[in-house]
Amino acid sequence: MTDSPIDHASPAGPGGLDPLADIATLDLDRARRRGYPEAVFCEGKTADQVARIAQELARRQAPALFTRTTPDTLAGVLSCLPDAGHDESARLAWWPRDVPDPSGALVVVACAGTSDLPVAREAWLTARFLGRDARLIVDVGVAGLHRILAHLDLLRDAGAIVVVAGMDGALPSVVAGLVSCPVVAVPTSVGYGASFDGLAALLSMLNACAPGVAVVNIDNGYGAGHLAAQITAAPSTATPPADVPPTDACCDIAE
C-alpha cells in the first residue's frame, strides 16, 4: 500500500464488493508498475459499461485514456467524468483534462494525408497525455516530397517520430531515411480498393528498406503514441519499480 488514493491491493468498492466484477478488471496498478496509466478500449462496449468503468476510475482518482469512443460511449464517459478532455476526430477521451508537464524527448507525429488525420490525432494526443512534448504536422505525403522536407529541422529534433499513412504507406521509409531517431509507422485503412483496408500500407511498412522502423497495427494511433512516449521517456520515468527485480532471463507467459 502507498499514500496514493489508488488502492493497488484490491479492486473492491464500498462494502467490499467489486462494482465491475461482471464486466471488467481495472489495472489500477499500471501507472505505478509501468509508468503509464490505464487505457479503456471503448469499441465493442456499451455506453453503460463505459460509464461504470469511468465511475470507478473517478472514485479511485485514477487517470485514464478512453480510446475508440462513439458518441454514446463518450456520453457515458462524460456522465461520470464531466471535466474529461475529448477529441471527436481522434475518438479519444482522457482524464484528467490537464496533461502532465512535458518531459523526455520530443515526439513528432507526421500525417501523410488529411484523411489519415483521425489516427494521427489519436497518436499525438496519446503522447501528450503520457507526458511528452508532441508536435503534429499534417498533409505531408509522398505525392509532394517538398512538404515533408519543409519540416526536416523539426523531424531531426525529435526523439521519436510517428508516421501515419494509408494508400501505399511509403512515407515512413522516406522519413526514416532522413533522421537518426526511431520511426513508428502506422498504416491506416485509407485508400482505394486494392489498399484492402490498410493491408497494403501495413505490408509496405513491414518491408521498409530504411532501418529503424517499427510498425503497429492498422489505425492503431494509440499504440503508436504510447510506443513513441516510451521511447522518448526520460531515464527516471523508464526505471522499473523497486519491487520488480531486473533479470536477464526469459519468463514463461501463461495464457
> Secondary structure of 154-219 in the HEC alphabet?
HHHHCCEEEEEECCCCCHHHHHHCCCCCCEEEEECCCCCHHHHHHHHHHHHHHCCCCCCEEECCCC
Kindly tell me the number of DSSP H helices and DSSP E strands found in the chain. 9, 9
Task: Indicate whether this model's pTM tops 0.75.
Answer: yes
Q: How far apart are CA 75 and CA 88, in angstroms?
A: 11
The answer to whether residues 67 and 91 touch, using CB atoms and an 8 Å cutoff, is yes
| Confidence label for 22 from pLDDT (cuts 50, 70 and 90) | confident
Cell of 71: 458518441
Q: Output the pLDDT for position 34.
A: 85
What does the DSSP 8-state code read for residue 116? G
pLDDT exceeding 90 applies to what percent of the chain?
Answer: 74
The answer to whether residues 40 and 65 touch, using CB atoms and an 8 Å cutoff, is yes
Sorted by sequence, the CB contacts under 8 Å of residue 212 that are 6+ apart come out as 176, 181, 182, 183
Sorted by sequence, the CB contacts under 8 Å of residue 21 that are 6+ apart come out as none
- pLDDT tops 80 at residue 19: no
Of residues 12 and 145, more confidence is placed in: 145
The answer to whether residues 21 and 58 touch, using CB atoms and an 8 Å cutoff, is no
Q: Which domains are assigned to the chain?
A: 14-95 (no CATH), 107-233 (3.40.50.1970)
Cell of 145: 516530397
Measured from the Cβ of residue 52, the count of other Cβ atoms closer than 10 Å reads 19
How confident is the model over 54-103, as pLDDT tens digits?
Answer: 999 999 899 999 999 999 999 999 999 999 999 999 999 999 999 999 99
Cis amide prior to 172 (ω within 30 degrees): no
Lowest mean pLDDT among 48-57, 64-73, 219-228, 241-250: 241-250
The answer to whether residues 213 and 110 touch, using CB atoms and an 8 Å cutoff, is no
| Beta bridge pairs of residue 65 | 39, 94
- pLDDT tops 50 at residue 165: yes
- pLDDT tops 90 at residue 180: yes
The answer to whether residues 42 and 68 touch, using CB atoms and an 8 Å cutoff, is yes
